[in-house]
């Protein structure tokens, strides 16, 4: 069982469902670290649907910003799903955080996963260059973060239409 | 020979040409179900180029909305190319259709393919989150539809620059 | 050693770094053909970072438009990195060039690579259809160009988060 599995894919590619399926084959309890912040109804609805899909043996922890502290609080050996890195990155940018140090600290934390940890992230760099500078910056930062996490992961899956391609 | 081959990829990734190449290795006649509606000159030009590339043994059926009925009219065992699902979905959204039931009916129909059927669709979820809500909704619906078709397909190909990665 | 390696991927997917790593395993000198034009500070910064990452055994040639002439000037057998095709295409479009003949000439040149040549390009067709016609045209032309180069390449790699999937 790899310590760190990194699950990357586009919107609605089945990343979260695949991660949940992999974790639910392990013995619980399972920890779900949600990075989502419910700013509006659309996001509240997405969070609600995600929660409904997951059953009760899941323990949910909300960590829109301090993901490292949330990971520190997890017992050794427990299965964890972090969903997802791109929302966390977006929260960091909105909070005007020092991205370089935040991302380095997270990569370091995940490089020393203390159990079967599963991390979900969005690939956002395969479309046309965005019009606005903020979106371009987000795209660059997300790509860099994804590369650094993939580098320390034992297993990397790229999701396509609910199916996975094992990249590492 | 798989009953249902699902060919997914980005714009200009060679999806249609690859599907046509696969079908033309089979004995004809071959049925081409076009979901395109020619609203403007750009689209008319695309449809025209697609038709030119295909030769005469192809029988073209236009089905911008009622794709299930078009599939029902195909003889048992005949090779079919449906091109493409994302345009069909877009037509359904413009027609304000009940997407959930339409997509479920289509997935059910394709799960019982009566011959070597080939279905082409666009992957649209690998860029930055779109600015407008309609594009976000389309992206979500397309991703869900692609997942449901991939789930019932015998073979799934992801196209990259005219080459395919077999995902299933 | 393949004569032509084509490295395709999204923004910040590690295309250039991977190409440099592959080339630096070969004996030098290595030629870097840069297609970038520094129109603004953002681009100047990107070019600067790319140069800093590469060391001194690299010889840099700038070829925003006349890529074929730059390739002709390379000695037989020398390792070359062309970075990247999508910027070159963008420069051609800005210069209002005859894209069809330019792209055909480039594909022909690369089909007769005279050494281990590595060409980097962006995949831009996996997001939502862009709002404006120019972006749609660029997306179409980039997809067509990528297909034609992939067709003549001996090896094609699709990059995901710094890792590669061998597509050909």
pLDDT tens string C79-89: 999 999 999 99
For the stretch B29-41, pLDDT in tens is: 999 999 987 667 7
Chain C residues within 8 A (CB-CB) of chain B?
6, 8, 10, 123-129, 133, 136, 139-140, 142-144, 146-147, 149-151, 156, 158, 165, 167-168
Q: Each residue of A112-129: b (16+ CB within 10 Å) or e? A: ebebbbbbbbbbbbbbbb
> Which among A12, A135, A164 has the least Cβ separation from residue B128?
A135
Q: Supply A80's token pair.
A: 């964890």
Whose structure tokens read 């179900």?
B33
CA atoms within 13 A on the CB side of C149: 33
- Measured CA to CA, the distance from residue B157 to residue B5 in angstroms comes to 8
How many structural domains does chain A have? 1
3-state secondary structure of A4: strand
For the stretch B38-92, pLDDT in tens is: 667 776 776 677 677 766 788 999 999 999 999 999 999 999 999 999 999 999 9
**Annotated binding residue B73:** no
- Measured CA to CA, the distance from residue C51 to residue C160 in angstroms comes to 23
Whose structure tokens read 């055994």?
C57
Annotated binding site of A for GTP: 9-16, 34-36, 51-54, 62, 83
| B126 Cα distance to chain centroid | 19
The residue segments making up the domain with residue B152 are 4-166
- Measured CA to CA, the distance from residue A127 to residue C139 in angstroms comes to 9
> Which among A11, A139, A165 has the least Cβ separation from residue B125?
A11
| Domain CATH code at residue B64 | 3.40.50.300
Can you list the positions of beta strands (E) in B48-87?
A: 58-62, 80-83
**Annotated binding residue B123:** no
- Measured CA to CA, the distance from residue B74 to residue B61 in angstroms comes to 10
Rg of chain A over Cα atoms, rounded to whole angstroms, equals 15
Contact: C161, A147; criterion CB under 8 Å: yes
B28 CB contacts (<8 Å, ≥6 apart)?
A: B57, B58, B79
Contact: C161, A142; criterion CB under 8 Å: no
B103 CB contacts (<8 Å, ≥6 apart)?
A: B89, B141, B144, B145, B148
Cβ–Cβ < 8 Å for A145, A35: no
Contact: B10, C133; criterion CB under 8 Å: no
Give the mean model confidence (pLDDT) for residues A125-148: 96
Chain B residues within 8 A (CB-CB) of chain A?
6, 8, 10, 123-129, 133, 136, 139-140, 142-144, 146-147, 149-151, 156, 158, 165, 167-168
- Measured CA to CA, the distance from residue C9 to residue C123 in angstroms comes to 5
Interface test with B, best of C6, C103, C126 (most B CBs within 10 A): C126
- Whether omega before B84 lies within 30 degrees of 0, making that bond cis, reads yes
Q: Supply B98's token pair.
A: 């009940």
Q: Which chain C residues touch A149 with a CB distance below 8 Å?
A: 161
Whose structure tokens read 């909300």?
A62
Give the mean model confidence (pLDDT) for residues A76-82: 96
3-state secondary structure of C134: helix
Residue with more model confidence, B45 or C54: B45
For the stretch A27-39, pLDDT in tens is: 989 999 999 876 6
Please report which helix (H) or strand (E) contains residue B57, including its range: none
Angle at C51 between CA C48 and CA C55, to 5 degrees: 150
Please report which helix (H) or strand (E) contains residue C92, including its range: helix C85-94
User: Nearest CA to C13 among C164, C166, C167, C168?
Assistant: C164
- Taking 90 as the threshold, does the pLDDT of residue A155 lie above it? yes
- Measured CA to CA, the distance from residue C37 to residue C34 in angstroms comes to 9
Q: Which chain A residues touch B151 with a CB distance below 8 Å?
A: 162
- Measured CA to CA, the distance from residue C149 to residue C67 in angstroms comes to 14
User: Nearest CA to A152 among A101, A88, A109?
Assistant: A109
Catalytic-labelled residue, pool C3, C18, C48, C50: C50
ipTM of the complex as predicted: 0.91
Whose structure tokens read 């940018």?
A93
- Taking 90 as the threshold, does the pLDDT of residue A164 lie above it? yes
């Amino acid at each position: 069982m790899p310590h760190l599995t990194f699950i990357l894919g586009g919107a609605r590619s089945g990343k979260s469902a695949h991660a949940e399926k992999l974790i639910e084959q392990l013995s619980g309890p399972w920890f779900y670290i949600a990075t989502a912040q419910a700013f509006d109804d659309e996001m509240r609805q997405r969070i609600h649907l995600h929660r409904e899909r997951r059953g009760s043996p899941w323990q949910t922890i909300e960590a829109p910003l301090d993901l490292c502290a949330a990971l520190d609080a997890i017992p050794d050996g427990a299965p964890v799903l972090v969903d997802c890195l791109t929302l966390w990155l977006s929260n960091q940018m909105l909070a005007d955080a020092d991205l370089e140090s935040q991302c380095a600290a997270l990569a370091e934390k995940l490089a020393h996963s203390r159990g079967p940890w599963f991390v979900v992230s969005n690939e956002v760099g395969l479309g046309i260059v965005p019009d606005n500078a903020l979106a371009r910056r987000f795209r660059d930062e997300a790509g860099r973060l994804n590369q650094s996490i993939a580098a320390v992961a034992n297993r990397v899956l790229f999701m396509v239409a609910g199916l996975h391609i094992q990249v590492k």
